[in-house]
Homo-oligomer: A and B are copies of this chain.
Protein backbone atom coordinates (compact mmCIF):
# COMPACT_ATOMS: atom_id res chain seq x y z
CA UNK A 1 0.00 0.00 0.00
CA UNK A 2 1.10 3.57 -0.78
CA UNK A 3 3.06 4.76 2.29
CA UNK A 4 1.72 8.34 2.02
CA UNK A 5 -1.81 6.97 2.24
CA UNK A 6 -1.08 4.72 5.22
CA UNK A 7 0.64 7.69 6.91
CA UNK A 8 -2.36 9.94 6.22
CA UNK A 9 -4.69 7.19 7.46
CA UNK A 10 -2.74 6.64 10.66
CA UNK A 11 -2.59 10.39 11.26
CA UNK A 12 -6.36 10.72 10.74
CA UNK A 13 -7.24 7.71 12.92
CA UNK A 14 -4.61 8.16 15.61
CA UNK A 15 -4.12 11.90 16.08
CA UNK A 16 -6.93 13.57 14.12
CA UNK A 17 -10.03 11.64 15.17
CA UNK A 18 -8.20 9.87 17.99
CA UNK A 19 -10.37 6.77 17.48
CA UNK A 20 -11.06 4.87 20.70
CA UNK A 21 -11.40 1.08 20.91
CA UNK A 22 -15.04 0.06 20.55
CA UNK A 23 -16.06 3.16 18.60
CA UNK A 24 -17.98 3.19 15.35
CA UNK A 25 -15.99 5.21 12.81
CA UNK A 26 -17.96 7.04 10.12
CA UNK A 27 -15.83 7.77 7.07
CA UNK A 28 -17.14 10.38 4.64
CA UNK A 29 -15.70 10.75 1.16
CA UNK A 30 -16.58 11.50 -2.39
CA UNK A 31 -16.12 8.76 -4.99
CA UNK A 32 -12.57 8.07 -6.15
CA UNK A 33 -10.77 7.88 -2.79
CA UNK A 34 -11.02 4.10 -2.40
CA UNK A 35 -7.36 3.53 -1.58
CA UNK A 36 -7.28 6.03 1.29
CA UNK A 37 -10.64 4.71 2.51
CA UNK A 38 -9.13 1.22 2.70
CA UNK A 39 -6.08 2.51 4.57
CA UNK A 40 -8.31 4.38 7.05
CA UNK A 41 -10.50 1.30 7.58
CA UNK A 42 -7.48 -0.88 8.17
CA UNK A 43 -5.96 1.62 10.59
CA UNK A 44 -9.25 2.06 12.48
CA UNK A 45 -9.89 -1.68 12.81
CA UNK A 46 -6.30 -2.23 13.97
CA UNK A 47 -6.95 0.38 16.65
CA UNK A 48 -10.01 -1.55 17.86
CA UNK A 49 -12.87 0.20 16.06
CA UNK A 50 -16.19 -1.60 16.43
CA UNK A 51 -17.31 -0.78 12.89
CA UNK A 52 -16.19 1.40 9.99
CA UNK A 53 -19.17 2.89 8.17
CA UNK A 54 -18.13 4.42 4.85
CA UNK A 55 -20.47 6.92 3.25
CA UNK A 56 -19.59 7.71 -0.35
CA UNK A 57 -20.91 10.83 -2.03
CA UNK A 58 -21.04 10.74 -5.81
CA UNK A 59 -20.75 14.20 -7.40
CA UNK A 60 -21.78 12.81 -10.81
CA UNK A 61 -25.12 11.74 -9.35
CA UNK A 62 -25.49 15.27 -8.00
CA UNK A 63 -24.81 16.64 -11.47
CA UNK A 64 -27.56 14.39 -12.93
CA UNK A 65 -29.93 15.67 -10.25
CA UNK A 66 -29.21 19.36 -10.89
CA UNK A 67 -29.67 18.76 -14.62
CA UNK A 68 -32.85 16.71 -14.62
CA UNK A 69 -34.76 16.75 -11.30
CA UNK A 70 -37.78 19.03 -10.80
CA UNK A 71 -36.63 22.37 -9.27
CA UNK A 72 -38.91 22.05 -6.24
CA UNK A 73 -37.20 18.79 -5.20
CA UNK A 74 -33.61 20.10 -5.28
CA UNK A 75 -33.41 20.90 -1.57
CA UNK A 76 -34.96 17.58 -0.58
CA UNK A 77 -32.84 15.35 1.64
CA UNK A 78 -34.01 11.83 2.57
CA UNK A 79 -34.98 11.58 6.24
CA UNK A 80 -32.34 8.93 6.96
CA UNK A 81 -29.44 11.22 6.03
CA UNK A 82 -29.98 13.50 9.02
CA UNK A 83 -31.09 10.63 11.23
CA UNK A 84 -27.82 8.82 10.61
CA UNK A 85 -25.87 11.98 11.48
CA UNK A 86 -27.75 12.45 14.75
CA UNK A 87 -27.25 8.75 15.57
CA UNK A 88 -23.51 9.22 15.02
CA UNK A 89 -23.63 11.87 17.72
CA UNK A 90 -25.91 9.97 20.10
CA UNK A 91 -23.77 6.87 19.79
CA UNK A 92 -20.56 8.90 20.27
CA UNK A 93 -19.02 7.77 17.01
CA UNK A 94 -15.74 8.98 15.54
CA UNK A 95 -15.90 10.72 12.17
CA UNK A 96 -13.23 10.98 9.50
CA UNK A 97 -13.74 12.95 6.30
CA UNK A 98 -11.50 12.80 3.27
CA UNK A 99 -11.20 16.08 1.42
CA UNK A 100 -10.44 16.89 -2.19
CA UNK A 101 -12.13 19.02 -4.84
CA UNK A 102 -14.92 17.48 -6.94
CA UNK A 103 -13.93 16.51 -10.50
CA UNK A 104 -12.84 19.74 -12.23
CA UNK A 105 -15.53 21.21 -14.44
CA UNK A 106 -18.19 18.70 -13.42
CA UNK A 107 -20.71 21.35 -12.41
CA UNK A 108 -19.88 23.77 -15.20
CA UNK A 109 -22.78 25.15 -17.17
CA UNK A 110 -25.43 24.37 -14.58
CA UNK A 111 -27.96 26.95 -13.42
CA UNK A 112 -26.47 28.47 -10.23
CA UNK A 113 -29.92 28.85 -8.65
CA UNK A 114 -30.57 25.13 -9.08
CA UNK A 115 -27.06 24.24 -7.96
CA UNK A 116 -27.36 26.40 -4.86
CA UNK A 117 -30.53 24.63 -3.71
CA UNK A 118 -28.74 21.30 -3.32
CA UNK A 119 -26.37 21.59 -0.31
CA UNK A 120 -25.36 17.92 -0.24
CA UNK A 121 -23.13 16.36 0.94
CA UNK A 122 -23.43 19.04 3.65
CA UNK A 123 -26.22 18.31 6.16
CA UNK A 124 -27.59 20.76 8.70
CA UNK A 125 -27.29 18.04 11.35
CA UNK A 126 -23.48 18.25 11.05
CA UNK A 127 -23.72 21.63 12.81
CA UNK A 128 -25.60 20.01 15.68
CA UNK A 129 -22.89 17.40 16.11
CA UNK A 130 -20.09 19.96 16.00
CA UNK A 131 -21.81 22.25 18.46
CA UNK A 132 -22.75 19.42 20.82
CA UNK A 133 -19.17 18.04 20.68
CA UNK A 134 -20.62 14.55 20.70
CA UNK A 135 -17.99 13.04 18.46
CA UNK A 136 -14.26 13.05 17.85
CA UNK A 137 -13.71 14.00 14.24
CA UNK A 138 -11.18 15.09 11.68
CA UNK A 139 -10.81 16.03 8.03
CA UNK A 140 -7.69 15.04 6.10
CA UNK A 141 -6.76 15.60 2.46
CA UNK A 142 -6.84 12.75 -0.05
CA UNK A 143 -4.39 13.18 -2.95
CA UNK A 144 -5.55 12.38 -6.46
CA UNK A 145 -4.56 13.10 -10.00
CA UNK A 146 -7.47 15.38 -10.97
CA UNK A 147 -6.80 17.50 -7.91
CA UNK A 148 -3.12 17.79 -8.78
CA UNK A 149 -4.05 18.98 -12.26
CA UNK A 150 -6.24 21.69 -10.74
CA UNK A 151 -3.62 22.90 -8.25
CA UNK A 152 -0.65 22.88 -10.65
CA UNK A 153 -2.04 23.41 -14.16
CA UNK A 154 1.46 24.37 -15.38
CA UNK A 155 2.85 20.88 -14.66
CA UNK A 156 2.26 17.66 -16.55
CA UNK A 157 0.04 15.13 -14.84
CA UNK A 158 2.82 13.00 -13.30
CA UNK A 159 4.80 16.00 -12.03
CA UNK A 160 1.66 17.63 -10.70
CA UNK A 161 0.74 14.51 -8.71
CA UNK A 162 4.28 14.26 -7.32
CA UNK A 163 4.15 17.88 -6.23
CA UNK A 164 0.72 17.49 -4.65
CA UNK A 165 1.91 14.45 -2.74
CA UNK A 166 5.06 16.26 -1.60
CA UNK A 167 3.16 19.37 -0.51
CA UNK A 168 0.46 17.37 1.31
CA UNK A 169 3.16 15.38 3.07
CA UNK A 170 4.81 18.64 4.09
CA UNK A 171 1.72 20.53 5.27
CA UNK A 172 0.53 17.42 7.14
CA UNK A 173 4.00 17.33 8.78
CA UNK A 174 4.43 13.74 7.60
CA UNK A 175 7.97 14.68 6.54
CA UNK A 176 8.88 15.03 10.24
CA UNK A 177 10.52 12.14 12.08
CA UNK A 178 7.64 12.18 14.54
CA UNK A 179 4.61 13.81 12.87
CA UNK A 180 2.45 13.37 15.97
CA UNK A 181 4.99 15.19 18.15
CA UNK A 182 5.33 17.93 15.52
CA UNK A 183 1.55 18.41 15.51
CA UNK A 184 1.35 18.43 19.31
CA UNK A 185 3.93 21.23 19.36
CA UNK A 186 2.22 23.28 16.64
CA UNK A 187 -1.17 22.76 18.30
CA UNK A 188 0.26 24.00 21.60
CA UNK A 189 1.48 27.21 19.92
CA UNK A 190 -1.88 27.79 18.24
CA UNK A 191 -3.86 27.07 21.40
CA UNK A 192 -1.78 29.41 23.59
CA UNK A 193 -2.04 32.19 20.98
CA UNK A 194 -5.80 31.66 20.93
CA UNK A 195 -5.85 31.93 24.72
CA UNK A 196 -3.90 35.19 24.65
CA UNK A 197 -6.28 36.55 22.04
CA UNK A 198 -9.32 35.46 24.07
CA UNK A 199 -7.90 37.19 27.14
CA UNK A 200 -7.99 40.54 25.27
CA UNK A 201 -11.77 40.33 24.94
CA UNK A 202 -11.79 42.55 21.85
CA UNK A 203 -15.10 44.12 20.87
CA UNK A 204 -14.25 43.89 17.17
CA UNK A 205 -11.50 43.15 14.66
CA UNK A 206 -10.59 45.42 11.78
CA UNK A 207 -9.03 44.11 8.56
CA UNK A 208 -7.21 46.69 6.42
CA UNK A 209 -5.45 45.93 3.18
CA UNK A 210 -5.75 46.32 -0.61
CA UNK A 211 -9.50 46.57 -1.32
CA UNK A 212 -10.33 45.73 2.26
CA UNK A 213 -11.53 47.81 5.18
CA UNK A 214 -13.73 45.53 7.20
CA UNK A 215 -14.80 45.60 10.82
CA UNK A 216 -16.09 42.37 12.31
CA UNK A 217 -17.90 42.82 15.64
CA UNK A 218 -17.43 40.07 18.22
CA UNK A 219 -19.87 38.75 20.79
CA UNK A 220 -19.16 39.59 24.45
CA UNK A 221 -18.05 36.01 25.09
CA UNK A 222 -16.44 35.21 21.69
CA UNK A 223 -13.55 32.89 22.57
CA UNK A 224 -10.75 31.96 20.21
CA UNK A 225 -10.15 28.29 19.50
CA UNK A 226 -7.51 26.37 17.61
CA UNK A 227 -6.25 22.94 16.58
CA UNK A 228 -7.55 20.81 19.46
CA UNK A 229 -11.17 20.09 20.32
CA UNK A 230 -12.51 17.96 23.13
CA UNK A 231 -15.71 15.93 23.05
CA UNK A 232 -18.27 15.82 25.86
CA UNK A 233 -16.64 12.54 26.83
CA UNK A 234 -13.23 14.20 27.06
CA UNK A 235 -11.70 12.76 23.88
CA UNK A 236 -9.17 15.26 22.49
CA UNK A 237 -9.13 15.38 18.69
CA UNK A 238 -7.90 17.64 15.88
CA UNK A 239 -10.78 18.52 13.54
CA UNK A 240 -8.56 19.62 10.67
CA UNK A 241 -5.25 18.16 9.60
CA UNK A 242 -3.50 20.27 8.55
CA UNK A 243 -4.63 23.16 10.74
CA UNK A 244 -3.03 26.57 11.20
CA UNK A 245 -6.01 28.77 12.11
CA UNK A 246 -7.30 30.46 15.26
CA UNK A 247 -11.01 31.13 15.01
CA UNK A 248 -14.11 32.32 16.78
CA UNK A 249 -17.76 33.12 16.14
CA UNK A 250 -18.48 36.83 15.62
CA UNK A 251 -21.55 38.97 16.28
CA UNK A 252 -23.58 38.37 13.10
CA UNK A 253 -25.14 41.82 13.33
CA UNK A 254 -21.96 43.93 13.41
CA UNK A 255 -19.95 43.32 10.27
CA UNK A 256 -19.36 46.56 8.42
CA UNK A 257 -17.32 47.65 5.42
CA UNK A 258 -15.84 46.08 2.35
CA UNK A 259 -13.60 43.09 1.92
CA UNK A 260 -11.67 41.71 -1.05
CA UNK A 261 -10.79 38.03 -1.07
CA UNK A 262 -7.08 37.22 -1.21
CA UNK A 263 -7.51 33.74 -2.67
CA UNK A 264 -10.09 32.10 -4.95
CA UNK A 265 -13.05 30.56 -3.16
CA UNK A 266 -14.05 27.05 -4.16
CA UNK A 267 -17.65 26.18 -3.32
CA UNK A 268 -18.51 22.70 -2.08
CA UNK A 269 -19.51 21.66 -5.59
CA UNK A 270 -16.11 22.70 -6.97
CA UNK A 271 -17.34 25.84 -8.66
CA UNK A 272 -15.03 28.79 -8.38
CA UNK A 273 -15.46 32.37 -7.18
CA UNK A 274 -12.52 34.60 -8.15
CA UNK A 275 -11.85 38.24 -7.32
CA UNK A 276 -14.61 38.35 -4.75
CA UNK A 277 -15.59 41.70 -3.23
CA UNK A 278 -18.25 41.79 -0.52
CA UNK A 279 -19.80 44.82 1.11
CA UNK A 280 -21.38 44.42 4.54
CA UNK A 281 -23.87 46.68 6.23
CA UNK A 282 -25.23 45.97 9.72
CA UNK A 283 -23.83 42.44 9.53
CA UNK A 284 -25.40 41.52 6.22
CA UNK A 285 -23.69 41.20 2.83
CA UNK A 286 -25.40 43.88 0.76
CA UNK A 287 -23.22 43.47 -2.33
CA UNK A 288 -21.44 40.40 -3.65
CA UNK A 289 -19.33 40.99 -6.73
CA UNK A 290 -16.64 38.87 -8.32
CA UNK A 291 -14.63 38.51 -11.49
CA UNK A 292 -16.06 35.01 -11.77
CA UNK A 293 -18.78 33.04 -9.99
CA UNK A 294 -20.57 35.87 -8.17
CA UNK A 295 -23.98 34.44 -9.07
CA UNK A 296 -23.08 31.09 -7.50
CA UNK A 297 -22.18 32.68 -4.18
CA UNK A 298 -25.19 35.01 -4.25
CA UNK A 299 -27.43 31.95 -4.68
CA UNK A 300 -25.79 30.27 -1.66
CA UNK A 301 -26.21 33.44 0.41
CA UNK A 302 -29.95 33.39 -0.27
CA UNK A 303 -30.31 29.91 1.27
CA UNK A 304 -31.72 31.25 4.52
CA UNK A 305 -31.82 34.24 6.88
CA UNK A 306 -28.29 33.66 8.25
CA UNK A 307 -26.61 32.79 4.96
CA UNK A 308 -25.53 36.37 4.20
CA UNK A 309 -24.11 36.98 7.69
CA UNK A 310 -20.90 35.78 9.29
CA UNK A 311 -20.55 32.65 11.43
CA UNK A 312 -16.78 32.62 11.70
CA UNK A 313 -13.74 34.83 11.73
CA UNK A 314 -10.33 33.14 11.72
CA UNK A 315 -6.75 34.35 11.86
CA UNK A 316 -3.75 32.63 10.31
CA UNK A 317 -0.17 33.80 10.78
CA UNK A 318 2.64 33.35 8.30
CA UNK A 319 4.34 30.65 10.37
CA UNK A 320 1.97 27.99 9.08
CA UNK A 321 3.20 25.65 6.39
CA UNK A 322 0.41 26.19 3.88
CA UNK A 323 0.59 29.93 3.23
CA UNK A 324 4.35 29.70 2.59
CA UNK A 325 3.89 27.33 -0.34
CA UNK A 326 1.96 29.88 -2.35
CA UNK A 327 -0.17 27.08 -3.77
CA UNK A 328 -3.89 27.57 -4.31
CA UNK A 329 -5.19 24.13 -3.46
CA UNK A 330 -8.84 24.70 -4.44
CA UNK A 331 -9.75 22.94 -1.22
CA UNK A 332 -11.10 24.80 1.82
CA UNK A 333 -9.35 22.47 4.25
CA UNK A 334 -5.99 23.67 2.96
CA UNK A 335 -6.67 27.15 1.61
CA UNK A 336 -8.48 28.36 4.74
CA UNK A 337 -5.37 27.45 6.69
CA UNK A 338 -3.20 29.51 4.36
CA UNK A 339 -4.79 32.85 5.25
CA UNK A 340 -7.08 34.65 7.65
CA UNK A 341 -10.68 34.17 6.62
CA UNK A 342 -14.32 34.77 7.38
CA UNK A 343 -17.28 32.48 6.73
CA UNK A 344 -20.83 33.12 5.66
CA UNK A 345 -23.37 31.04 7.51
CA UNK A 346 -23.45 28.95 10.58
CA UNK A 347 -21.47 29.82 13.70
CA UNK A 348 -20.16 27.64 16.51
CA UNK A 349 -21.80 27.28 19.91
CA UNK A 350 -18.52 26.10 21.37
CA UNK A 351 -16.94 29.52 20.77
CA UNK A 352 -19.34 31.47 23.00
CA UNK A 353 -20.89 31.23 26.45
CA UNK A 354 -24.39 29.88 26.90
CA UNK A 355 -25.78 33.42 27.12
CA UNK A 356 -24.46 34.36 23.67
CA UNK A 357 -25.49 31.16 21.90
CA UNK A 358 -28.86 32.45 20.73
CA UNK A 359 -26.97 35.38 19.14
CA UNK A 360 -24.41 33.42 17.11
CA UNK A 361 -25.33 33.10 13.44
CA UNK A 362 -27.64 30.27 12.38
CA UNK A 363 -27.69 28.91 8.85
CA UNK A 364 -27.69 25.74 6.80
CA UNK A 365 -24.54 26.91 5.03
CA UNK A 366 -20.94 27.58 6.09
CA UNK A 367 -18.71 29.04 3.38
CA UNK A 368 -15.18 30.17 4.26
CA UNK A 369 -13.36 32.71 2.15
CA UNK A 370 -9.84 34.00 2.50
CA UNK A 371 -9.31 37.68 3.25
CA UNK A 372 -5.90 37.66 4.92
CA UNK A 373 -2.26 37.81 3.92
CA UNK A 374 0.94 39.60 4.76
CA UNK A 375 -0.44 42.79 3.24
CA UNK A 376 -3.60 42.76 5.36
CA UNK A 377 -3.31 44.31 8.83
CA UNK A 378 -5.53 42.96 11.56
CA UNK A 379 -6.28 45.24 14.48
CA UNK A 380 -8.24 44.54 17.65
CA UNK A 381 -10.69 47.18 18.84
CA UNK A 382 -11.37 47.18 22.57
CA UNK A 383 -14.62 48.13 24.21
CA UNK A 384 -12.90 51.42 25.15
CA UNK A 385 -12.27 51.94 21.40
CA UNK A 386 -8.49 51.42 21.69
CA UNK A 387 -6.67 50.02 18.63
CA UNK A 388 -4.39 47.02 19.33
CA UNK A 389 -2.30 45.51 16.52
CA UNK A 390 -3.04 41.77 16.17
CA UNK A 391 -1.37 40.79 12.87
CA UNK A 392 1.17 42.92 10.99
CA UNK A 393 2.87 41.52 7.92
CA UNK A 394 1.44 38.15 8.88
CA UNK A 395 3.12 38.10 12.30
CA UNK A 396 1.35 37.99 15.66
CA UNK A 397 1.50 41.19 17.70
CA UNK A 398 -0.34 39.74 20.69
Contact = CB atoms under 8 A, between A and B. Distances in A.
Contacts of A56: 31, 54, 56, 58
Contact of A38 (B60, B77, B78, B79): B60
Given A45-B68, A80-B87, A91-B79, A54 B61 contact: yes
A37 interface: yes
B51 A38 contact: no
Contact of A76 (B38, B51, B60, B78): B51
A323 B87 CA distance: 46
A65 B45 contact: yes
A73 to B, nearest CB: 5
B52 A38 contact: no
A166 interface: no
B91 A64 contact: no
B61 A48 contact: no
A387 interface: no
B53 A37 contact: no
A313 to B, nearest CB: 35
Contact of A64 (B38, B53, B60): B38
Contacts of A24: 78
B52 A70 contact: no
A230 to B, nearest CB: 24
A68 B46 CA distance: 6
Interface in A61-104: 61, 64-65, 67-70, 73, 76-80, 83-84, 87, 91
B45 A69 contact: yes
A64 B42 contact: yes
Given A37-B61, A41-B58, A50-B76, 15 more contacts: A31-B34, A34-B58, A37-B58, A41-B61, A41-B64, A45-B65, A46-B68, A49-B69, A50-B70, A51-B69, A52-B64, A52-B65, A54-B61, A79-B87, A83-B83
Interface of A: 24, 31, 34, 37-38, 41-42, 45-46, 48-54, 56, 58, 60-61, 64-65, 67-70, 73, 76-80, 83-84, 87, 91
